[in-house]
Structure 1
Amino acid sequence: MSETALRQENTAATELPARDERVEALLGSILRNRFLPEPNPDSVFVGDGSFRAVGVEFLGHFILLGGVRPESRVLDIGCGIGRMAVPLTQYLDFEKGHYSGIDPVEGGIGWCRRFITSVYPNFAFQRVDIAHELYNPSGKISGNALKLPYADGHFDFVIMTSIVTHLPPDEVLVYLREVGRLLKPGGRLFMTAFVVDHVAAANESGRRDARLSFARDGDGPCWYVPDMPRLAAVGFDDGFLDGALDRAGLAITLKALGAWRGKEAEHYQDIFVAERRGGGA
């Protein structure tokens, strides 16, 4: 999709950055690095696609779209088995950059501690026992009462990839409120989502991902996939996440709609980048 078409389609008119040869060289070197840890591809924690290739793709997005820097303090909410963390080990400064990953599932956290923290001590992983009906049904911390174990304004960059795609709307508001609390002024959130705009709702192109045949849930902002568990894939009315980010004190700097709806894009899910108000550019 051309930059002009993308600006016309997105509600937040933002120009995507030009390709960066230095970033592309870094991403290529990470893809070829056979010494980086990689879990068994059959692990239930890995998810769809190539562990290495997907992580490297997102590192490029974090740098070029999100503006993460080598000296950033990064929080990865729902870090899983380290798909985003492994490529970041090759980008964050060993002394100045810091990474914190949280997840409710102990198996992924244990793998990350064993294979990442043991080599990169500036990468820390913590299990937070957040209840989720699919991933942690016996969790003791309600998503509606979430308060993450970090000080206000501690982070420069927060990652939420494939998180709001598995949350009900009331919990989305709580998570984003926490993100607003944890980011420094000027710090940024990088978040992926399924935005059910008019194209996705009507499936006008007839090419939408068949796995995401969303249907509206009553009169609320949520869209679920019939015949799947409710939180297996969650879409939201266009505008719901924009308003939730605003309520959390976060100003959208980029809203780029993804290829899942059957239109050309360089990423699958929809991407939001939002900045904590009160800081510089």
Structure 2
Amino acid sequence: MEAPIIIFDLVGEDVTKTITPTKLVQMRGNIDKAVIEDNVLQLIGWAASVNAGPVESLRVSYSGKEFTDFEMAFGIKSPDVKEIFPNLECAQKSRFRIRIPLNQEEQQQIRDSLIVVTPLFKEGEGGSILYLLEPSLPLPSEDDSELMIWIGSNALATFSRTAIEFLGYFLEMAALKPTDSVLDVGCGMGRIAYTLAYYLAPTTRYEGFDIMEPLIQWAQNNIAPRFPNFNFRRVDIYNKLYNHNGTLPATEFVFPYEDESFDFVFLGSVFTHIPACEVRHYLEEIYRVLKPGGRCLCTVFLHNEESAKLIAAGKSSANLVHEIDDYFATSLDMPEMFTGFKEDLLLGWIGSSGFTVKGKYYGLWCGRTEFISYQDILILHKD
């Protein structure tokens, strides 16, 4: 047998060994296939750690319910994973198979739901590997391609993949709970809302706003009718690139929400398209609407010694070479195309706004060989 098999009994006890996670392990993983056949849910995927050795067990849940009776095999040969991620430990034997018997009620419940697989290592618990099984929410189609160009290249093909990727970050980096109220600043078509709809409790509040009417209209038409706790609104903020007819300066915009009304705020690729004065104002507004203990995850371009060297060497996909006042841009004519900030300066603004930086994760954008996502990620905490 090429992989160890562990059978869980009906109370969830591992008959081979008990693993007690002690910390969050840095890892990568994916579910490549999930299918229900002959009353059995089959999951095929892979998981490998950065420096915590091989997977020793797996935990599986959906909609907050954990499975306690299933069969799993792990440590399966995976030369394809090793080729793509040569620096991950045990990448050459990182694949797993899971078989979960389902009764008729479970088969109905698990369809159109979010499946969560959590790898367990000797040193601790890995991040969540997520998979949407037979989602009924519509995805953007070729008919929406003109809208998709506003949220990134190849966005049509990667819409749900990006949504799942960031939900994973929310869970791992910001400890997002299903009962946390969420504000999505620059929500676009609802790409992040797409998976949050399957994770947040039906009574949990989600609010998203954006400056582009067609994007908001898509989310209102395709997500809000199925999930009435999800609300999308358009705001007429001026931005030279995205809303040049906007009537309201961003520095005067007050988020249309009460003080201390959200547990979590997300800004995906917002601070990468606005100047420093608007970033500082948004930080103040985010702090205002967050509850004490609330968190914010934002993506940014951090200009530091490493990224500056990579930009100068021509490695970066965001050529932040023009310094304008207290930020960097790729274009003098259209600074909003891409904006970045000196790391120590931005962290100073964040601190002055009252936040504590709880996490900093560097991205691929400048040509790094080791990264978490495309853009840099910051986790802010309101004490």
TM-score, structure 2 length as denominator? 0.64
Q: Tell me which amino acid in the other structure corresponds to 1:78.
A: G
Aligned-partner Cα distance in 2 for 1:148–1:204: 35
Q: Secondary structure at the residue paired with 2:237?
A: coil
**Equivalent pair of 2:311/2:320 in contact (CA under 8 Å):** no
Q: 1:207 to 1:33 in 2, by over 3 A?
A: farther
**Equivalent pair of 2:363/2:371 in contact (CA under 8 Å):** yes
Matched, 1:267 2:370: no
Aligned-partner Cα distance in 2 for 1:156–1:34: 26
Structure 1 residue 179 displacement after superposition: 0.1
Aligned-partner Cα distance in 2 for 1:118–1:52: 19
Matched, 1:35 2:140: no
Q: Deviations over 1:225-270 (max 9, x none)?
A: 1477211110111112211211211110001111222221121110
Among candidates 161, 169, 174, match of residue 66 of structure 1? 174
Q: Secondary structure at the residue paired with 1:63?
A: helix
Q: Deviations over 1:92-123 (max 9, x none)?
A: 0012x211000011111111111111000010
Question: Larger Rg: 1 or 2?
Answer: 2
Structure 1 residue 34 displacement after superposition: 4.3
Give the match for residue 201 of structure 1: 308
Matched, 1:93 2:201: yes
**Equivalent pair of 1:205/1:262 in contact (CA under 8 Å):** no
Structure 1 residue 200 displacement after superposition: 1.1
Q: 1:184 to 1:201 in 2, by over 3 A?
A: same
Give the match for residue 225 of structure 2: 118
Among candidates 322, 344, 360, match of residue 239 of structure 1? 344
Q: Secondary structure at the residue paired with 1:166?
A: coil
Q: Deviations over 1:37-67 (max 9, x none)?
A: 2112513344234111011100100111111
The structure with the largest strand share of the pair is: 2
Structure 1 gap segments, 5+ residues each: 1-14
Aligned-partner Cα distance in 2 for 1:197–1:266: 17
Q: Secondary structure at the residue paired with 2:207?
A: strand
Q: 1:1-281 counterparts in 2 under 5 A? A: 18=26, 21-22=59-60, 23-24=116-117, 28-30=130-132, 32-41=133-142, 42-45=145-148, 46-48=151-153, 49=155, 50-95=158-203, 97-203=204-310, 206=313, 208-209=315-316, 211-218=317-324, 220-226=325-331, 229-263=334-368, 264-277=370-383
**Equivalent pair of 1:16/1:65 in contact (CA under 8 Å):** no
Q: Secondary structure at the residue paired with 1:109?
A: helix
The structure with the largest helix share of the pair is: 1
**Equivalent pair of 2:361/2:372 in contact (CA under 8 Å):** no
**Equivalent pair of 1:206/1:262 in contact (CA under 8 Å):** no
Q: 1:204 to 1:39 in 2, by over 3 A?
A: closer
**Equivalent pair of 1:222/1:236 in contact (CA under 8 Å):** yes
Aligned-partner Cα distance in 2 for 1:16–1:260: 25
Q: Tell me which amino acid in the other structure corresponds to 1:44.
A: L
Aligned-partner Cα distance in 2 for 1:194–1:21: 35
Aligned-partner Cα distance in 2 for 1:55–1:35: 15
Q: Tell me which amino acid in the other structure corresponds to 1:179.
A: I
Q: 1:204 to 1:215 in 2, by over 3 A?
A: closer
**Equivalent pair of 2:311/2:366 in contact (CA under 8 Å):** no
Q: Tell me which amino acid in the other structure corresponds to 2:146.
A: S
**Equivalent pair of 2:184/2:209 in contact (CA under 8 Å):** yes
Q: Secondary structure at the residue paired with 1:157?
A: strand
Q: Tell me which amino acid in the other structure corresponds to 1:272.
A: L
Aligned-partner Cα distance in 2 for 1:24–1:195: 32
Structure 1 residue 130 displacement after superposition: 1.0
Aligned-partner Cα distance in 2 for 1:33–1:155: 30
Which stretch of the first structure deviates more once superposed, 194-203 or 40-49?
40-49
Q: 1:86 to 1:185 in 2, by over 3 A?
A: same
What is the RMSD of the two structures over their aligned residues, measured on CA atoms? Answer: 2.1
**Equivalent pair of 1:256/1:270 in contact (CA under 8 Å):** yes
Runs (4 or more) in structure 1 with deviation over 4 Å come to: 15-22, 204-207
Q: Tell me which amino acid in the other structure corresponds to 1:265.
A: F
Aligned-partner Cα distance in 1 for 2:328–2:303: 8
